[in-house]
Amino acid sequence: MSEELTLPIKLLVPCGSLGAGVREDEVEYGLSRGAHAIATDAGSTDSGAAYLATGKSKNSRGAVKRDLMILMKAHARTGIPVIIGTSGQAGGDLNVDWTRDILLEIVAELGISPKIALLYSEQTRDDIKTFNTAGRIRPLPPLGVLENATVDACDHIVALMGVEPYIAALEQGADVILGGRSTDPAVLASFPIWKGAGWGASWHAGKVGECGAQCTEKRDSAGVLLSIGKDSFDVEPLARDNYCAREGVSAHMLYENTDPYILTEPGGQLDVTQVTYEELDDRRSVRVTGAVWKPRPYTMKLEGAGGGKFQTIMLVGIQDPDVLRDVSGFHDRFLDALYLRARQTLPPEEHDDFHISIRMYGWNAVDGRPVPAGTPAPRELGVLFIATARTQEIANAITHACNPYFFHYPAVMDKELPSYGFAFSPADVPRGQVYEFKLNHVVEVSDPLELVRTKWVNL
């Protein structure tokens, strides 16, 4: 779509994340309202480091194909571009290629030949070390100076793209863009900026619309339509029985952002200090006016993930009244007993190289904080046992050694033994390797495309 468009630019955002459930009727509504492009995020760090470290998607292949099929059918009928960011959940090269294969399957089934751009933003460990040596990498809180050992511990490292790589692909005629790791708002802001909408309005619209209908009042719907001009944008639900309100639209600046007025992105900051939110006469839409884009030296956030030790888990349910009367005390005594039992069975060289935790669900398993005195006893507890060790075999051995304690370990030693209920048989579940994020840094670049590789699929 190279022809000039008049403002506002209408962007159809079909869902908050590809694979979460695009709705055909909502897409049809957005098309009937004159959408110029379709754009959606496809990933996040919310579900943890495993998806970057392994290159696998959290979403099922079937779910992603279903959603992408709906979008590509819309493209086939209308010719409007389809823009996907953070492909395959984590946006690494493997994640992008996984999504590419699904897309190629779809276009073959539809009998169409779109021009497809693949944007890769994965970085090599050697390049990251070079940038670090040159003083181009700085940490974000709470991390400190980046060490080479930390870089080496990463299986995959990505740099978060801004709007520029998407705009470059659109300028070269891309019909479909599958982007690697990107900031969520950038995926949505790129097309309207390319077509002349205001940078402030486009970035703010991207932030509000990044999670689809989560900025609306009936958040069980999927998508929104963003109409973006020079200084303002309108946000409208794609579901006809839904509506937007000022509070819900304005509150989205707080989503994954500590400052409700400033959002830092590659190459600048979005300032919404003077923004106004107006509910329109159609009682469905909100108009947002006054966002300002303030250019800054260009940086890209780095995310790196890698595998560590191995885990085995057990889950048991407890209703014993003696345990429930003193959950915290039982936890501490039980944990001491489990450590003692594990050390009795392991070789001495392994005694200081493992970890056991028991998480008391229904008490304090989520935050781990001390429970105030006088807190009423729960009706029951779910106790999750986690053994972490340098190999899966050792984690399994620790779990097997501790297993008998989960049948009858008493809260009061001189009473008859209680019985606890295992959730599964066999009780132990090997989890495999533990994955974690190891980088929380930014890298300075002189060119927004410096760390991005663009490949074209020739159909």
| Number of structural domains found in the chain | 2
Distance CA 317, CA 383 (A): 6
Whether 285 and 176 map to the same domain: the answer is yes
Whether 283 and 423 map to the same domain: the answer is no
| Section 302-313 average pLDDT | 97
- Judged against a pLDDT cut of 60, whether residue 239 lies above it is answered with yes
b (16+ CB within 10 A) / e for 163-190: bbbbbbbbeeebbbbbbbbbbbbbbbbb
User: pLDDT tens, 101-110?
Assistant: 999 999 999 9
Q: How confident is the model at residue 3 (pLDDT cuts 50, 70, 90)?
A: low
Note the pLDDT of residue 32: 97
Whether 362 and 274 map to the same domain: the answer is no
pTM of the model: 0.92
Whether 116 and 264 map to the same domain: the answer is yes
Whether 352 and 275 map to the same domain: the answer is no
- Residue 405 CB contacts under 8 Å (≥ 6 apart), including other chains: 334, 337, 338, 341
Q: Which residue has the higher pLDDT, 44 or 388?
A: 388
**In a domain? residue 456:** no
| Section 230-239 average pLDDT | 97
Whether 288 and 323 map to the same domain: the answer is no
169 forms beta bridges with none
Cα of 368 vs its chain's centroid, Å: 24
**In a domain? residue 290:** yes
User: pLDDT tens, 319-363?
Assistant: 999 999 999 999 999 999 999 999 999 999 888 899 999 999 999
Whether 284 and 330 map to the same domain: the answer is no
User: pLDDT tens, 166-177?
Assistant: 999 999 999 999
Structural domain of residue 424, as residue ranges? 307-438
Percent of the chain with pLDDT over 90: 90
**In a domain? residue 289:** yes
- Judged against a pLDDT cut of 70, whether residue 2 lies above it is answered with no
**In a domain? residue 22:** yes
Q: How confident is the model at residue 1 (pLDDT cuts 50, 70, 90)?
A: very low
Whether 273 and 212 map to the same domain: the answer is yes
Q: Which residue has the higher pLDDT, 348 or 191?
A: 191
User: pLDDT tens, 109-159?
Assistant: 999 999 999 999 999 999 999 999 999 999 999 999 999 999 999 999 999
Note the pLDDT of residue 417: 85
Average pLDDT of the chain, as a whole number: 95
- CA angle in degrees (0–180, nearest 5) for 225-229-235: 25
Note the pLDDT of residue 40: 97
**In a domain? residue 445:** no
